[in-house]
Structure 1
Amino acid sequence: MFRDLSRPIETGMPTYPGDPDVTLAPDATHETDGYATSELRTGTHAGTHVDAPRHTLSEGATIDQVGVGRFAFDAQLVDCRPLAPREAIGPGALPGQNGLDADPLDPAVDLLVLRTGWASHWGSDRYRDHPYLTAAAAERCRELGVGVGLDSFGPDPTPPGPAAETGPARDDEPDGTPAHDALLNDSLPIVENLCELDGLPERFRLYAFPLRLRDGDGSPVRAVAEWKE
């Protein structure tokens, strides 16, 4: 079976605070030109996308320098729910913690897809209040050699929206992008803004191929899950 886990690319879609707005508009039309083309203006991290190491590391690899096979994943779904707004996800939420649990991580897995439940807030300022990975959790992923996929803006905290809409940042939230840095420093993938995770099996293949953007720091993807019934 196949399932699309991607957000539609459309005018006015939510973007990370400060990123470019997305517009998708007709350029040529059948009525005027006899054919149709459209103009798309977007940032490289709009919608469902992958991060290249260059995203947060000035000397990191660009998206076109990463082998295409690195975007076909043996994924494992990790249900982290329930989670409070801006709650930290520690290493204890990950499979194979210290190698002592009854169900250690299969060495074939190269991507943990963390279901936080925050996909349901897409389109509202509350989406900014997603949970995030602690530095210890990101380091644990690095030790396991796995990247992460998330149903949120990313593995680090996002600046909160207007106070009337979302909660304030917590005092213990990290500054900068420590989770990004820990993963991308080892060229481990980060797939952000996934959706439709409910009902997926625990194990599946995930395909998230980026555009071949020269010197790109990331790229929108069509993220597709595949599994056998």
Structure 2
Amino acid sequence: MGIERQRQRLISLSHLNDPATTSVFPGDPPFELETVATVEKDGYYLRFVREGEHTGTHWGAPGHFNAGEALADELDLGNLFLPAVRIDVRERCARDADYQVTTDDIRSWEERHGRIPDESMVIIWTGWDARWGTAAYANLDADGVVHQPGFALETVRWLADTGRIGHRGGTGTDTFGPDVGIDRGYAVSRLVYQRHRVSLEILANLAALPPTGAHILCGGTLNRAGSGSTALIYGILPPR
């Protein structure tokens, strides 16, 4: 087998960070890009970026919801490089925007693909990535409530207790976060972020991520005491 065929492949799992198309979670700071220097006037081009740490595709650190847990600058690299599985729940979510992914959904996936490796990033593909840049992404009702699918609380508890996300794994999704949109108490997020687990949110291009066999690698800025980071998140695919 030649060297080229043995090489792992990279894909981007991040949306383009563009104020014109970025859906911002209700109540988060607005996203703005301001040009503060131009080549013609200043000899170089530079923009000032204003956004929350969880704007666009991003990862969240355990301290985002749990006081005393690790913040962005306290994680080690192993927390941001994990085996990944992708679970396709698009059909269920298309029928019910408030769908909660169940342990039966996970077990059904495992019947086809095998047990999820310990300390994995468990990513659900809800189909919301295709809604990016439109009002259908936030899917607000008349009262301003977000309607997006997510994990059921008992599902995340099972994933943690059985070692599938274990101590340093986590959950990923193409929606605003792992909770269903109607849960403003963020019960799933609070559980996910316990004991060093991380959360990947607003993922893109999940059609290119295989159900199993890939890894994720998270970039982003490590802000001092950060709650997370807007990031270019890579999928590292096995050689063909």
TMscore range, shorter length: 0.7 to 0.9
Q: One-letter code of the match for 1:133?
A: F
- 1:211 & 1:96 partners in 2: Cα distance? 37
Identical columns (%): 25
Q: Does residue 1:204 correspond to 2:214, yes or no?
A: yes
SS for the counterpart of 1:191 is strand
1:152 aligns with 2:172: no
Q: Is the 8 A contact 1:7 1:194 kept in 2?
A: yes
Structure 2 CA distance for aligned equivalents of residues 209 and 197 of structure 1? 17
Residue from 155, 160, 167 that aligns with 1:142: 160
- Alpha carbons 2:60, 2:198 under 8 Å: kept: yes
Give CA-to-partner distance per residue, 1:120-152, whole Å, 9 cap, x none.
111233223221111101112212224111111
Q: TM-score normalised to the size of structure 1? A: 0.86
Does the CA-based 8 Å contact 1:6-1:193 persist in structure 2? yes
Structure 2 runs not aligned, ≥5 long: 1-8, 139-146
Q: String of CA shifts for 1:167-191, please: whole Å, max 9, x gaps.
A: xx5xxxx450111111111221110
Q: Return the letter of the residue paired with 1:90.
A: T
SS of the residue corresponding to residue 215 of structure 2 reads strand
RMSD of equivalent CA atoms: 2.0
Question: How far has the Cα of 1:42 moved from its partner?
Answer: 0.7
The aligned amino acid for 1:91 is T
Query: What does 1:32-51 align with in structure 2 at a 5 Å threshold?
Result: 32-51=41-60
Task: Give structure 1 regions of 4+ aligned residues with deviation exceeding 4 angstroms.
Answer: none
Query: How far did residue 26 of structure 1 move?
Result: 1.4
Aligned equivalents of 1:210, 1:186: Cα separation in 2: 21
Q: For 1:127 and 1:8, how far apart are their aligned partners in 2?
A: 15
Tell me, yes or no, if structure 1 residue 111 matches structure 2 residue 142.
no
What residue in structure 2 maps to residue 164 of structure 1? none
**Hey, what does 2:16 align to over in structure 1?**
8
1:5-35 deviations in whole A, cap 9, x for unaligned?
A: 1011122421111101111121110010111
| In 1: Cα distance, 2:79 partner to 2:224 partner | 17
2:35 to 9, 18, 26: 26
Normalization by structure 2: what TM-score?
Answer: 0.82
The letter for the 1-side match of 2:129 is A
CA contact (8 A) 2:59 2:228 kept: yes
Which residue identity does 1:72 align to in structure 2?
Answer: F
2:129 match: secondary structure: helix
The correspondence for 2:82, drawn from 73, 89, 110, is 73
- The one-character-per-residue Cα deviations of 1:69-107 (angstroms, maximum 9, x if unpaired) are 21011111111121221111112112489x9x5754243
Residues 215 and 96 of structure 1: CA distance in aligned 2, closer, same or farther (over 3 Å): farther
